[in-house]
Structure 1
Amino acid sequence: MDIELVLDAHAIIAESPTWVAEENAVYWIDVKAPALHRLDLATRVDREWRLASDVGAFALIAGRHEALVALRHGLFRLDLATGALVLEVPPPFDPARHRFNEGACDSTGRFWVGTMFDPMPDVECNPERSGMSSFTLSGGLRPEPDAAELHNGMAWSRDEATFYLSHSQQQAVFAFPYDRVHGSLGSRRAFVTIPAELGLPDGAAVDAAGGYWCALHGSGRLHRYRPDGTLDREIMLPVSQPTMCAFVGADLDMMMVTTASDKLSPRQLAEQPHAGGLFCFRPSVRGIPRHYQLK
C-alpha cells in the first residue's frame, strides 16, 4: 500500500477530515491546538482559524461563510472571513469535566455531536459518561438517547437507514436504525468489538459497497468491516495514532487519514517523525459523500 504524507502538520490531535468537493479542499481540526484548518489539495496550502478552547467537531453552515464549531464551552459560529466567534448555545455538560467530541451531519443538515470525559488539568474526578446531542439552526440543541465516556466513529450507511457510533473506552462499535425524516435513533445493536490490544475504535467512514472503515487509535491501523460486522481488510500505517479516515477527491477514490502526536514519548516521536500528519492512499473502493452542511 502506497501511503503518502499529504501534510506534515505535527498536529496534537488532527481530526475530522471533511471533503468539500466544490473547493477541492479538506477541512480538518486540531483538537488541542485548538484550530480549524482548510487544506487545498491542489496547492497543499493549509489555512488555520485559531479557536478559543478544545474543539471536538465542526460543520459548515449552508449558504453562509461560517462554520459551527463544537468547543469545550459550547457550540459557536465561526466567521470564516474574520475569525470571529459567537456563542450559539452553551454545552449540556460541565465543561470542567467533559467536552464535545466527534460530530457529523446527516443529509437533512442535522448535526450530531458526542462527548468525551476529558477533565481540565486541575479537576480530579472519576470517569463518567455524558450524553450525545443533535443540533439544527431552527430547533437548537436536542438531547439524544445515548451516553458514553467517549463517543467516536459516527457514520451512516449509504441508504442512511443505519447510524454507526463507537463507545471507544468500551472497545465497542454499535449500529442503530436511523429515521432520517425525524432524525431519530432506534434500539442499538452490537456491530463490532475491538480487542484492547488493537487500540481504541476512533473515527470512521463508509464506502460505496457498505464497508465500515475504522481508525484504530494506538495500534497504527485501519480496519474495514463488512456490513455484517466481519473483518475484511487491515491497513497498516506509518504512525501509531490514527484518529479518523475519510474519502476525498473528485471520484471519492482516495482515503485521507488524520493522526495524532498527543502523549507520545520522545522516543516514540523520534520513531514516528510524521505523527500528527495527514496521510492519503487509494483503498481500491470508492466512498460515499460525507454530509457536512448544517441547516
Structure 2
Amino acid sequence: MSTATNEETNVAGHAAPELDSNAEDVTGAAGTGLATVPMVTDGADDGEIERELSEMEADAATLQREGMISEQEAAEKREQVARTRKFFRDLPPAERAAIVQRRREIGRQLMERQLSGAAVVKAAVRLNHTRLKPLFEQWWPYLNRMSINMQRFGRSTFGAQDQGMVTGWFEKQVADLEAYVDEQLEVASGFRQRTQAEMTGRGDVVFVPTVTLPSLDIEVEAYSRFSMRLLSLLLKFDRVMDNFDFLVWNGIRDQSDMDEETSRFLRKFHPVGVRGYMTHLRLMTTVRGR
C-alpha cells in the first residue's frame, strides 16, 4: 500500500456511480418488520437491497411512533427509500451486475490506498475458495472505511442517540455471525476428524485435498477491531470450506450439499455488507462537507 491519500479528496467522490448518496438513510437499527413488495436487487444477492430498504421504512415508522423523529422527518426518510427503490427497480439486470462489479473494483482501490492519520493493523488475507472473494471485495473495504469514519464522524452524521443504534445493530449482527461460524467450524472439523478416523480404521484410501492456488492472497490495513472481526469471520469460514472439500473428495457429502451451506453463510453476511456500504455512503456526505 504505497499511495497515501486524504479521505476528502480521493475516496469521497466514488459513491455517485453506485447509489445516490442522498437517497438512503441508515439512522435506525434493525427493522421491526418487512413490507410485502416485489423484490429488487443491486445484483449482489437475493434481493438484499430491497430487504434493507424495507427495514429502513420500518425504522422510520418506529422512530416516529416513539417520538424520536417528527412526522415530516419520517416522511422524508420514506421518500428517500422510495427514490432508491425506484432507482434499482428501473435498472436492467446487466446494469445491476455492472454496479456490483464497479463496487468491487472501487473496493480493491480502497484497499490499495492508505488513509492519512489512521492507526492501522496489517493483516494477511488468504482465501482459498473462490466464492468468498467477491463477498470480501464487495463489502469489506467499505465496512473497514465505515468503521473508522463512524469513530470520526458518526456523531456529527447521525447524532449521539442514532449513532448508538447503528453501532448496536452492527455489533449484534457480527456477534451472531461469529457464533454461527464458530459452530459451523466446530461441526465441520469434528465430523471430518471422525470420518477420517473411521476410514483409516477400515483401511480405506483417504484423500487429503489442499488448495495450492488461493483465490485471494493479499495484505490489508484494518482500521478497527470491528474490521478485524469481520476478517476473522471470513478466514474462519474459509477453513470450514476446507473441511467441506475433504468431505466431497472422499464421497462423504455431495457438492450440492456444500454449496447450500456456503450459500447460507453468504446470505447471513450480505445484510451486514449492504447496511455497512450504505452507512459508509452516508458518512461520506459528512466527510465531503467538512
Instruction: Please give the range of the TM-score, normalised by the shorter of the 2 chains.
Output: under 0.3
TM-score of the two chains, using structure 1 as the length reference: 0.27
Q: Please, what TM-score do these two structures have when normalized by structure 2?
A: 0.28
Decide which structure has greater strand share.
1
Q: Flag the structure with more relative contact order, 1 or 2, with Cα contacts below 8 A and sequence separation at least 6.
A: 2
